[in-house]
Structure 1
Amino acid sequence: MKPVDQKELDRMLDMAYEAMEHAYVPYSGFQVGACLRAASGKYYLGCNIENAAYTPTNCAERTAMFKAVYEGERDFDAIAVVCSGKNPAYPCGVCRQVLAEFCDPAMPVFCGNADRKTEMYTLNELLPCSFGPKDLGK
């Protein structure tokens, strides 16, 4: 896994905040953006997309991941998730599980708020004892 220095983190956060501006949030008004870095060095951006029925709503992290997987990526080494709120954006449980499908448990997850306050966790800290491909013999 390629480390994330401050310059790289700032770049990823800038892209995540840019992605956040594309969020479709007519119901909650709560914008989220994500920047997922693949091991290839490419970046994939995502925003949250709400739906009136709520259940079909897609989070920014999954939007970025699904775009990356569609493009052929399977290995990732960092993600930045930011929001328009006062508290940092933490991936929801579903997003954590999707990240665990493709990412090393030690992968850094950077969580930021509207004021660019950022916290860092490993995926394993956010989803300990995860169920994944290894549990199915893969």
Structure 2
Amino acid sequence: MEIDETALIAAARAAALNAHAPYSRFGVGAALLLKDGSVVTGANFENASYGLSLCAETVATATASAGGRLRDIVAVAVIGGMIEDGRPTGTDPVRPCGRCRQVLNEAAGMAGRDLVVLCAGAEGEATERHRLSDLLPHAFGPADLGIDR
């Protein structure tokens, strides 16, 4: 499947506008490309009890799962930056945190494919393209629990 990287990053940037980040002031957006070409998005959602906060990638993955589409994920775009004037800013690429890499790994296992991970800043052209397996080598998964999918 061909990935329109520009469109997927644009969807992540649009999602980041909905970030609820009153504590870190760092807005993140994620966009998941599904195998039929549709896109599911998520934005980070912070909580005053910090441990209850949700990353954009986790929100998007849970949304895909709730819609019965977990096995359909092909790629993810992640963007983020400090919020100024109500929107994320900055050009440095943002990468998924370790927890999100693990959540995406679970989705990749269900999908039976390695995922493409696009990382970009809230603005600008700088983009990184990775395979999830490169971002999370030797990942913990179902096989470590003796589960064969």
Structure 1 length as normaliser, TM-score?
A: 0.90
Q: Partners of 1:34 and 1:130 in 2: how far apart?
A: 21
Aligned-pair identity in percent equals 38
Q: What amino acid sits opposite 1:109 in the alignment?
A: V
State how 1:1-138 maps to structure 2 within 5 Å: 2-4=1-3, 8-75=4-71, 76-84=73-81, 85-103=90-108, 106-116=114-124, 117-135=126-144, 136-138=147-149
Structure 2 length as normaliser, TM-score?
A: 0.84
Once the 2 structures are TM-superposed, how far is the Cα of residue 88 of structure 1 from its aligned partner? 1.2
Contact 1:105/1:123 (<8 A) preserved = no
Q: What amino acid sits opposite 1:112 in the alignment?
A: A
Q: Partners of 1:83 and 1:26 in 2: how far apart?
A: 14
Unaligned 5+ runs, structure 1: none
- Greater share of strand residues, 1 or 2? 2
Pairwise CA RMSD? 1.4
